[in-house]
Structure 1
Amino acid sequence: MTETTTDGDATDTQRRGRRIMMTAGERDAFLASQRTCRVATVSGNGAPHVGALWFVWDGTALWLYSLTRSKRWGQLRNDPRLAVVVDDGEAYGELRGVELSGRAISVGEAPRAGQPCPELDAPERMFASKYFGMESMPHDGRHAWLRLVPDSVVSWDFRKMPMG
């Protein structure tokens, strides 16, 4: 993951100004509080495709629950590269967000019917709580899990900019 934060937890310098970059704790709290991300994939002819998804962040990986018959899923089978943006804010001085990019990996059965998969225990518990207010994940046999352990993370929080 490439990002330098004010608490020094990474290796490379983020291109955007360091003064508006989120710390690791701010980034984790932001990703935990947001509900929708935008996921960009690439088609065989190089054309981008962007769609909205629900997600959970476990501090290391972004977990996406996607329809297996979607354009996104087909494109990721051919080219696993993706970029994800989670952002928030109305006025310019309120804008904040995180951009993550890397390669998606399918985890568990596809489509997911609920067969035991220890690697999915934590993300499914987090997802069920965040979106359904439940302790366990309902499975519809149409979705499956994608995991993105980002190669690159860029964050911004315009609320940190001096106004005036």
Structure 2
Amino acid sequence: MSTQRKGKAIAMTEEERDAFLQSQPVVRVATVSVSGRPHVSALWFVWDGAALWLNSLTRSQRWTDIVRDPRVGVIVDDGGKDFMSLRGVELQGTAEVVGEVPRTGEPVDALAVPEKLFADKYAAGRPFHYDGRHGWLRITPEKIVSWDFAKMRR
């Protein structure tokens, strides 16, 4: 994975980045459409410390784009009320389908952790609900860039 070359003074540490990604509710996912134009959508996600997991509708433009071309870019940020409170993480990487499509709940070892994280983050720990319309995508980062403008004050 490539490292952050610019903006090191405002980059989050690995621990700060992990805590930030685990606390934020929404990611914006950019895919490449068949026409070559970007397609951006927002959805819930979980971060397991090594990969970002998306639970996506399998009949969506995002899913279609990723199956055809797995290159993605994502941004997680909390916007900030002023310039000095801007924080965020950008990941570039490759997405892959994990488990059956659509997900019906067949045991898949690779999904045990993301499904538990997702249930804890969005459903107060209740067991994951399979609706027959969603599937799991794992984004393995090839590049991660982060920023926390509050570090400029230090």
**Is this a same-fold pair by TM over 0.5?**
yes
2: distance between equivalents of 1:126 and 1:56? 6
1:149 aligns with 140
1:7 aligns with none
Tell me the secondary structure at the aligned position of residue 153 of structure 2: coil
- What residue identity is the alignment partner of 1:97? G
1:46 aligns with 36
Tell me the secondary structure at the aligned position of residue 44 of structure 2: strand
TM-score normalised to the size of structure 1? 0.90
- What residue identity is the alignment partner of 1:77? V
How far did residue 77 of structure 1 move?
1.1
1:24 aligns with 14
How far did residue 21 of structure 1 move?
0.3
Matches within 5 A, 1:10-21: 14-21=4-11
Tell me the secondary structure at the aligned position of residue 161 of structure 1: helix
How far did residue 2 of structure 1 move?
1.8
1:61 aligns with 51
2: distance between equivalents of 1:38 and 1:82? 10
Runs of 4+ in 1 over 4 A off after TM superposition: none
Give the number of aligned pairs: 153
Q: Percent identity at matched positions?
A: 58
How far did residue 137 of structure 1 move?
0.8
Gaps of 5+ in 2: none
Matches within 5 A, 1:9-158: 14-88=4-78, 89-158=80-149
- What residue identity is the alignment partner of 1:80? P
1: distance between equivalents of 2:72 and 2:137? 11
- Pairwise CA RMSD: 1.1
Greater RCO, 1 or 2 (C-alpha within 8 Å, sep 6+): 2
Could you list the per-position Cα deviations for residues 24-46 of structure 1 after superposition, in whole angstroms to 9, with x for gaps in the alignment? 00000000000000000001111
Gaps of 5+ in 1: 4-13
